[in-house]
Chains A and B, each alone.
Chain A
Amino acid sequence: MITRKQLFVDGIFRQNAIYRQILGICSTLAVTNLLSNTLVMTLGLTFVTAMSSLTVSALRTVTPPRIRMMVQVMIIATYVIVIDLLLQAYLPEISRRLGPYVGLIITNCIIMGRAEAFAAKNPPWASFLDGLAMGLGYTMVLMGIAVVRELVGFGTLFGVTVLPAGFTRWTILTMAPGAFFMVGIVIWVMNTLDPPSKAGAPR
Chain B
Amino acid sequence: MMHSQLSAAVILFAAIFTNNVVLSNFLGLCSFLAVSKAVKSSIGLGVAVAFVMAATAGLNWLVYHHVLVPLGLTYLRFAVFILVIAGFVQFVEMAMERLAPALYFTLGIFLPLITVNCAVLGVALFMVIREYSFLESVAYGFGGGVGYLVAIMILATLRWRTRKSKVPPALQGAGIAVIMSGIMALGFVGLSGLITIN
- Contact, CB under 8 Å: B125 / A104: yes
Is A77 interfacial (CB-CB < 8 Å)? yes
Is B47 interfacial (CB-CB < 8 Å)? no
Q: Chain B's nearest CB lies how many Å from the CB of A72?
A: 10
- Contact, CB under 8 Å: A26 / B30: yes
- Contact, CB under 8 Å: A180 / B182: yes
Is B24 interfacial (CB-CB < 8 Å)? yes
Contact of B182 among A22, A70, A177, A191 (CB under 8 A): A177
Is A141 interfacial (CB-CB < 8 Å)? no
Residues on the A chain within 8 Å of B23, using CB: 176
Nearest A residue (CB) for B31: A109
- Contact, CB under 8 Å: B79 / A184: no
Residues on the A chain within 8 Å of B168, using CB: 188
Distance between Cα atoms of A104 and B188 in the complex (Å): 23
- Contact, CB under 8 Å: B117 / A184: no
Distance between Cα atoms of A133 and B175 in the complex (Å): 23
Residues on the A chain within 8 Å of B183, using CB: 177
Contact of A191 among B76, B79, B175, B185 (CB under 8 A): B175
Distance between Cα atoms of A137 and B59 in the complex (Å): 37
- Contact, CB under 8 Å: A106 / B189: no
Distance between Cα atoms of A24 and B181 in the complex (Å): 16
Q: Which of A79-87, A123-131, A147-155, A159-167 contacts B (4 or more CB under 8 A)?
A: A79-87
Residues on the A chain within 8 Å of B29, using CB: 25-26, 29
Is B171 interfacial (CB-CB < 8 Å)? yes
Main SS at interface, chain A = helix
A-B contact count (CB 8 A): 116
Distance between Cα atoms of A23 and B125 in the complex (Å): 21
Distance between Cα atoms of A103 and B64 in the complex (Å): 15
- Contact, CB under 8 Å: B82 / A77: yes
Is A12 interfacial (CB-CB < 8 Å)? no
Interface size on B, residues (CB 8 A): 43
Residues on the B chain within 8 Å of A108, using CB: 118
Contact string, B145-189, partner A, CB cutoff 8 A, digits 1/0? 000000000000000000000001111001110110111011011
- Contact, CB under 8 Å: A78 / B179: no
Q: Chain A's nearest CB lies how many Å from the CB of B34?
A: 7
- Contact, CB under 8 Å: A104 / B178: no
- Contact, CB under 8 Å: B171 / A104: no
Is B58 interfacial (CB-CB < 8 Å)? no
Distance between Cα atoms of A23 and B178 in the complex (Å): 12
Is A112 interfacial (CB-CB < 8 Å)? yes
Is B33 interfacial (CB-CB < 8 Å)? yes
Distance between Cα atoms of A193 and B175 in the complex (Å): 14
- Contact, CB under 8 Å: B178 / A187: yes
Is A91 interfacial (CB-CB < 8 Å)? no
Is B53 interfacial (CB-CB < 8 Å)? no
Q: Given the interface contacts A73-B82, A74-B79, A100-B122, does A175 sit within 8 Å of B178 by beta carbon? A: no
Distance between Cα atoms of A74 and B76 in the complex (Å): 11
20 A-B residue pairs with CB within 8 Å: A26-B27, A26-B122, A70-B86, A73-B82, A73-B116, A74-B79, A80-B78, A81-B76, A84-B75, A99-B126, A104-B118, A104-B122, A107-B82, A180-B179, A180-B181, A180-B185, A183-B178, A187-B174, A191-B170, A195-B170
Known A-B contacts: A22-B174, A80-B78, A176-B185. Give 6 more (CB < 8 A). A26-B26, A78-B79, A184-B175, A187-B175, A188-B168, A192-B170
